[in-house]
Chain A
Amino acid sequence: MTKVWSAVSPDLFQLKEWEGEGVLYLADSGDTHLLNQVGVQVLMILKDKPFELSELVEQLNQSIYPNSERITDNMISGVLTELYYLGVLTKVKS
């Protein structure tokens, strides 16, 4: 069984991005967090469509970072966990 990651309802957060970096506002807590480029891209992709980790990594490698060092599952799983604990992602088993 694999986990599919998805963003929570857009009513629960706001994301603003400039030149890769971004700021994330959480409606429930009122907290704001600074996101690096990978965090921003992960959240933007999952806002549009849920993905499994491997699919998400593929997306990032193909469309976002085609010319840079390859992103690995390990690099992204930490980002997913952080966003999950911030309350902007959910994971469901499929």
Chain B
Amino acid sequence: MNIGSIPQIDLLKTIQNEGVVFQVAGFTIKLQSPFPEVSKNIHKLYSDYPLAEQGSFIDFHMKVAPPKGLRRWYRPQVEFHLDGFRPFKPLPQDQAYAMFEWSLNWCIANHMHNYFIVHAAVVEKEGKCIIFPAPPGSGKSTLCASLVMSGWRLLSDELALVDRNAENVFPIPRPINLKNASIDIIRARYPGAIFGPIIKDTAKGTVSHLKPPATSVRLASQLSRPAWVIFPKYQAGSITKLEKKSKAQTFMGVAQNAFNYTVLGSEGFDTLGRLIDGCDCYDFCYSDIDEAIETFQSLLDSK
């Protein structure tokens, strides 16, 4: 049974009371929130995600709720709770849904150290995946959304979870967090795309979340073999350029974008070394999305 099969009003009541327990790839999440905006967007963007079986072990007990005191009413705010712990400062209440998404990223990146975790988008086709590590503002999510809407499978928009042998990437397909101009770009290119709310004035600017294709969610248990590590960079007016990058330079670039490279110590060094051994490495500069999609299709065809 998927989240989408619950009537929206029932989901609202569940999330407001005991909480909804659902699966996001290999993780089981319990979410509670009194905000209708949160349940409405869970219903919209997570409709293809399965509800967890009763009695399942819950990885993250998440609550997105107003703080106590005056800020519940005056310039209302929202707080995130994980097992009763509040790791972040409150945000304006109209950012409640975004806070859920960002907090879930934080939960995974800070607790799943059985994986080597990189800040990266990951897409897959024909059993081979591309890891796009990049800092914010590089055009990673725009590129990822475009590829996913063009037939590539979404493994993740934010976190590459690589197993310790570096043989597989573990998918966690979730809504793609688009920012600022990229929201309109993707909306214009793909009119059928389903978006969550437009949330303005966040720390990342204006953000909106794009619903992942149902196929990517359905195939969430299917691991993928890393074949390429590619550093994307959107540069207005630039020509499309895919250039080989040395493996040692790639190693350093991935380490800089990894969440737990230092936590894992020498094991992190070994895992990343194996990942780089098995991948072709590139820098990619683009401004034209159609050319970008063609470039990656050619890359796949040449493998």
**A contact residues vs B (CB 8 Å cutoff):** 14, 16-19, 21-23, 25, 27, 30, 32, 34-35
Q: How far is the CB of A30 from chain B (nearest CB, A)?
A: 5
The tally of residues in B whose CB lies under 8 Å from a CB in A reads 16
Tell whether, in the assembled complex, residue B246 and residue A18 are in contact, meaning their CB atoms are under 8 Å apart. Answer: yes
B2 part of interface (Cβ distance < 8 Å):
no
CB nearest neighbor in B for A32: B255
Which residues does chain A contribute within 8 Å of B251, judged by CB atoms? 16, 23, 32, 34
A25 close to B252 (CB less than 8 A): no
Q: Nearest Cβ distance between residue A11 and chain B, in whole angstroms?
A: 10
Q: A16 CA to B272 CA in the complex, in Å?
A: 10
> How many A-B contacts are there with CB distance less than 8 Å?
41
Asked if B238 is an interface residue, CB under 8 A from chain A, the answer is no
Contacts of A27 in B (CB 8 A): 265-266
* B247 within 8 A of partner (CB): yes
Task: Determine the distance from Cα of A16 to Cα of B246 in the docked complex, in whole angstroms.
Answer: 13
Q: Which chain B residue lies CB-closest to A36? A: B248
Q: Mark B248-280, 1 if CB is under 8 A from A, else 0.
A: 110110010000011001100110010011000
On whether the beta carbons of A21 and B247 are closer than 8 Å, the reply is yes
Output the residue of B252, B255, B269 with the most chain A CB within 10 A.
Answer: B269
Q: For B248, give its contact among A14, A21, A30 (CB under 8 Å).
A: A21
* Interface residue SS majority, chain B: helix
**Measured between C-beta atoms, what is the minimum distance from B113 to chain A in Å?**
15
Residues of B within 8 A of A (CB): 246-249, 251-252, 255, 261-262, 265-266, 269-270, 273, 276-277
Given contacts A32-B252, A32-B255, A34-B252, are A19 and B246 in contact (CB under 8 A)? yes
Least CB distance from B273 to A in Å reads 5
A36 to chain B, nearest CB (A): 9
Give the distance in Å from the alpha carbon of A35 to the alpha carbon of B270 in the complex. Answer: 17
Residue of A14, A16, A19, A21 ringed by the most chain B CB atoms within 10 A? A16
In the complex, 22 of the A-B residue pairs with CB atoms within 8 angstroms, ordered by the A residue number, are A14-B266, A14-B270, A16-B248, A16-B251, A16-B269, A18-B247, A18-B248, A18-B276, A18-B277, A21-B246, A21-B248, A23-B251, A23-B252, A25-B266, A25-B269, A27-B265, A30-B265, A32-B251, A32-B252, A32-B261, A32-B269, A34-B248
> A21: which of B249, B261, B265, B277 is its contact (CB, 8 Å)?
B249
Residues of A within 8 A of B273 (CB): 16, 23
Q: List, in ascending order, chain B residues with CB within 8 A of A25's CB.
A: 266, 269
**Considering the chains assembled together, what is the distance between the CA atoms of A32 and B246 in angstroms?**
16
A16-B273, A32-B255 known; A22-B266 Cβ under 8 A: no
Instruction: Name the residue on A nearest B251 (C-beta).
Output: A23
Interfacial chain B residues near A21, Cβ < 8 Å = 246-249
Nearest CB to that of B273 among chain A residues?
A16
B248 to A: closest C-beta gap in Å: 4
B-side contacts of A32, CB under 8 Å: 251-252, 255, 261, 269
Complex partner residue of A30 from B247, B262, B277, CB under 8 angstroms = B262
Partner of A22, one of B248, B261, B270: B248
The distance in angstroms between the C-alpha atoms of A86 and B114, with both chains bound, is: 29
Q: How far is the CA of A44 from the CA of B269 in the complex (A)?
A: 18
- Nearest-CB distance from B275 to chain A (Å)? 11
B262 contact set on A, CB distance < 8 A: 30
